[in-house]
Amino acid sequence: MLKRLSLFICIFFTFGLRLLAQNGYVEYIEKYKTMAVEQMHRHGVPASITMAQALLESGAGRSTLAVKANNHFGIKVGTGWTGPYMLKDDDERNERFRKYNDVAHSYEDHSLFLKRPRYASLFNLHRTDYKGWAKGLKAAGYATNPAYATRLIDLIERFDLARLDYMTPGESPRLVADVSGLAPTAVIGRSEMSVHRCNDNYYVIASDGDTYASISKAMDVSERKLRRYNEVSKHHQLMPGDVVFLEKKSKKVAKSLKGTFHIVRAGESLHSIAQTYGVRMKTLYKLNHLPKDYLPSIGASLKLR
Mean per-residue pLDDT of the chain? 81
CB atoms within 10 A of CB 160: 14
Higher local confidence (pLDDT), 15 or 69:
69
Specify the amino acid at residue 161. Answer: L
Q: What is the pLDDT of residues 58-71, one digit of tens each?
A: 988 999 999 999 99
Higher local confidence (pLDDT), 188 or 198:
198
- Report whether 30 contacts 37 (CB < 8 A): no
DSSP state of 2: H
Which of 266, 276, 265 shows the shortest CA–CA distance to 301?
Answer: 265
Specify the amino acid at residue 85. Answer: Y
- Report whether 165 contacts 40 (CB < 8 A): yes
Please state, in angstroms and as integers, the Cα–Cα distance from residue 188 to each residue in 45, 133, 191, 192, following that order. 20, 25, 6, 6
- Whether the per-residue pLDDT at 43 is higher than 70: the answer is yes
Q: What pTM does this model have?
A: 0.53
DSSP state of 121: G
pLDDT band at 204 (very low <50, low <70, confident <90, very high): confident
Across 41-70, b (16+ Cβ under 10 Å) vs e yields eebebbbbbbbbbbbbbbbbbebebbeebb
Which of 117, 104, 130, 144 shows the shortest CA–CA distance to 45?
Answer: 130
Q: What is the pLDDT of residues 235-290, one digit of tens each?
A: 888 888 888 998 899 898 877 777 778 888 777 889 988 988 889 999 999 999 99
What is the average pLDDT across 19-36?
Answer: 76
CB atoms within 10 A of CB 142: 23
Q: What is the pLDDT of residues 122-147, one digit of tens each?
A: 999 888 899 999 999 999 999 888 88
Distance (Å, whole) CA 242 – CA 206: 5
Distance (Å, whole) CA 36 – CA 50: 6
Pairing status of strand 95-98 against strand 185-188 = unpaired
- Whether the per-residue pLDDT at 88 is higher than 80: the answer is yes
Q: Percent of the chain at pLDDT above 70? A: 84
Q: What is the pLDDT of residue 219?
A: 82
Region of 223 on the Ramachandran plot (φ > 0 left; ψ -120 to 50 alpha; else beta)? alpha
